[in-house]
Structure 1
Amino acid sequence: MKKPSKLSVRMFLLLLLCVVMPLAGVCIYVRVSMEHFIQEKLSEKVIQNISRGERNICDNLQNIAALTNVFVYDEELQKRIADPDTSQYENTKYFDQMIHKLSIASGFDFVQDMKILLFDGCGRIYSNWSMNYQDYQFLLDQDWVKKSRDNNGHIVWAMFNPAYIIGEKKDQTYISLAKSLLKDYTTGNVIGTLIISIDQKKFSDLLMEYAYDGDMAYICVGEGTVLLQNDTQGLVHEEDLKHLYRETKEKKSGSLRYQTGGGNFLISYYTIPKPWVFNDQQMKVFHFTNYQEVTNQMEMIGRRMNLVLLIVICALVLILYISIRMLVKPIVKLSGQMENYTLDMDIKDIDMERSDEIGQLNRSFRQMSVNIRGLFEQLRNEHEVKEKYRYESLRAQLNPHFLFNTLSTIRWMAIIRGADNIVDGIDALAHILKYSMSRENCLVTVAEEVENIRNYLYIQNCRYGNHCRLEIDLSESIMNLKTAKFILQPIVENAIIHGYDKDREEILIRIYGFAEAGSLNIYVEDDGVGISPNMIRQFEAYRKDRVKESKLTGIGIKNVDEYIRITFGNEYGLTIESLKTRGTVVLFTLPVIREEKSGDEKGNDCG
């Protein structure tokens, strides 16, 4: 037979499955969600900073373009550069004053860093730096400058062109614009050409103004050709940029995660809008934020959270295990006591003083043990009563002395009277013996029980000379009811033996009764000397407390009462009363059992 699993194991597994594992899942979900939340918020912050950088570039380029209007709409400047008779010295002085006023009035910090160059229609050149007598007329032959002269006063941008100032670094590049000055502000002949340039480094500074330390930016055109970058360590390869360019070709802006040999990056990209183009190609900026440090930090936080989660789960499992052990251990002890329980077993090793449900269960088990012992004691007593009743009944039925006296009486009757009543005496004795010894039915009719009393008194009268008179006052309906066998005869015998009055030399025995409310009441009354009050008290005390004291003879009133109680229930039995004048009355309280239900009623067992 398969041994059932322990309650503690089942409870532990149930709590582990229903509590610990869902809690662990929730904690893991919270950790992952928090990690994603931090990453998303950081990405949003980076993208916001990059967007601010993008706006900063566009705004500053717009501001540079707006500065050209200062030269276009200055009337004095218009007159001076259009008139060949004006002094170049005076013109240069006025130009310098304009630049000075411009740097003050505009509020732009980078005005002093701009290279401003003006060619008038008379071949004169004005600049905000010392040209050292160098000729910069070659700039007018640049394609982007020529294009501006044919562009009716509209700006033409030149992005990342080589530096044109003699003496500067060869790898230095400019972001430049060229704009023609027209005679009537916006119409008429070209009277001058304005070129404004700014070092690309300033552009890079604008690009990275809102970036985090360590960020890198690449400005690309075409299929990923790099125009500008500040990656001094070479962390990003050209192949990566071309791949990113192809991947984002159809998108103007956005962000993505990208991992390369140089590390893990968050890439924000956007396209610089027109008119700021390079060789008629729009430029795309790729901003690299080093995400590896963020990833490392998140991994560290994740490891710490995993450790904390593991400790919490282990502590919870340990607490569950200890709690379940504390709960199940006393139940196991109680189970062992119940499994090995015997009537004479001394219940120990279980705590009766506990105030919880376990203590209540322990006390209930102890009370159950007391009740079981009481029931077994009751069964033992009932068994003793039945056996004693059976023994005394059989002894009374087969009393050799009674049989000898009866037969002797019949013999003398036959001698003295010439055998006239021998048949009647023998018939009476035969009926008594048959009735007493028959075990076919334990329930008999009241009529059969009364007939047995008639036969018994007939024999007694034959023996003692008709000193017993019997009166029966029972209706036919009472006679047909069922009752226990051989319960009237012991009471009648007691009446004859203890109630016979020698002075009167006779005794009257009356049997009467009635049925009401489901109870059959049969009275056996005699007019003998009566029963003593002390005997009545002893019998009542016995009935109340089951005190084993009785001086009644024969089978005894006590035994008849016990037999009736065992057979029909504790609500039935005998009641004894001494009459006021003389005599004793015994009341039989019995259940109403009709003959047609005799096979189904209780009491059919002969005991």
Structure 2
Amino acid sequence: MLRWLTRSLHRKLTFVLVIATMVPVILLGMVSYHTASTITEEKAKLTGVNTLRQVNAIIETMVLDVENMSVFLIGQQEVQSYLTRERSGASEYLRMIGFLTNLAFSKPYISDIRIIPFNGNAELTNTTILQSTLFQQVDTDPQFWKNNTKWWSPPLTTVTSSGIKQTVSLVRPIRDMNTFKTIGMLSIGIDTAVIAQRLRDAAVDGAVMLVQDAQGRTIAASSTSITPSFVKIVTDKMTNSHETERLNSVGEGEDNQVVITAPVPIVPWDAYLAIPHHTFSAQNRYVLQLTAIAVVLAVVIMACAVGYFVRQVTKPLIRLARHLPAVSLERAYRPLPVESEDEIGTLISSYNLLNENIRQLTEQVKQNEAAKIEADLQALQAQIQPHFLYNTLSSVQWMAWMSSNDQIANMVGALGDFLRFSLNRGMQMCTVQQELEHIRNYLYIQSIRYPDRFTVETYFPDELMGNQMLKLLLQPLVENSIIHGLLKTKADQRGLLTIEAETPEPGWIRLRVCDNGVGMTEMELHALRERLAHYRFDDKAALHAPVGQDTSGCSAQMKPLGGYGLYNVQKRLLLHYGERAQLHVDSKQGAGTVITLYLMSNWTESQLNAS
């Protein structure tokens, strides 16, 4: 990094100026962020205290309603009469049940009202109590009730006819208004689900609220997913002095919480509010984002200003430094403009003069090399004349016949016909019949070289034989099927090669080469199709590049072996027929490969050359 910085005057100046101007801005942003975070935390704590006070007021209202209701029931004349009379009728019992039901229905948080007489009369309740452990936990010592006129139970599960409920109940004795003798017990249960709903309504985003009794038992919580370990973390560091509001930070890392606790008036309960630290920044995110945006904008503006200033100073040097390494024999010469008459202008003028000399020498070398290559080609063509080659092969064929070796004679004759068609007097077009004969000569030579390795079937309609097509399209496909498909199977397995032609629609020919060789895996087939797609008309320079030159981006390992292959067939199709012509490959491992050509029929030589 240091070396990269020190090797450029532009980078060194930019770095120094950027550091000098941006450090104060970044420091200012950090201070602003810290200040905003502190203000946000204080606001969140104040909001939490107010929320806790509101919740305590709601719970206090519920508790006062329950206590007032209990005082009303204890002094109610009909309740006193029912508890003091030894026997009560069914009508009086039903009237008392209806009275308690209406009373409980008036307050949605009342779960149940129970009156237990000591005179043997039936228990009064607004709902059917199926299971409850409330009075199993009530202190039966008379001295206890002499000193305590009321008692709040811990949270208990009560099973009623309307379902299972979690309740906390106020229990107090009922005394005769005349003799002050205890004549029964009264309990009024508060549904803790209602308290939990009030906590959920009041809790701020991300915060958790809960209410506990003096023994640390959870009465209600704003979330059902609160675990005992979380409750322990929240309440561990908070004192149990039931007097004032308290605030503390508990937990570490992601569990860091600000816990606010306050006593619930009238009852020995405490309310807790746990606010995660990460919610502080979320509550005041707009201020923090505004600060960050302002700092970023200031940094960007300063960086752009510094970059522009330094670039204007070092621009001539940068231009010269970039063009000096670019001097190459393969690149076109482009002179640099001389914008000043100082030392830099003189240096650029010298650079332009040097480049011009190099350009002239390069052109001279290229002309000499081109003349040499042309002379070599002419010498090679003089040595290998087509007629000389054909006459030589005819002589070899005649000698084979003289030696009664018909197989060699036929093979040499097929080779001669094969080469003669390949040259075709310089013509690019041939008939379908000529292309088929060319394929048969090739297959005859391969059948002698690889006896009993494959069988060939051809299907060419007679009406297609006179149609014109680009020559040497099928032979590379047949060669590909034999070498890469059939010959890679087991030696004792005889393959089948099928070559067929058809007219799918007027003016078009579809040629298909099928084999039952080893085929390709899906990955190999996908890679082959991807490489063939490089030869589309997206890069026309690639279509006109010499054979063997890599213009498609494919590496040498990705290209086919030999002068002709699937890639060169694809290239010739697109070059002469355009994008309407198609080459498609289908293959399945172990089942073989199908190569399909789709091209226009009856194209003339002039049309082909014009394309």
TM-score w.r.t. the length of structure 1 is 0.41
Mark the structure with the bigger radius of gyration: 1
TM-score w.r.t. the length of structure 2 is 0.40
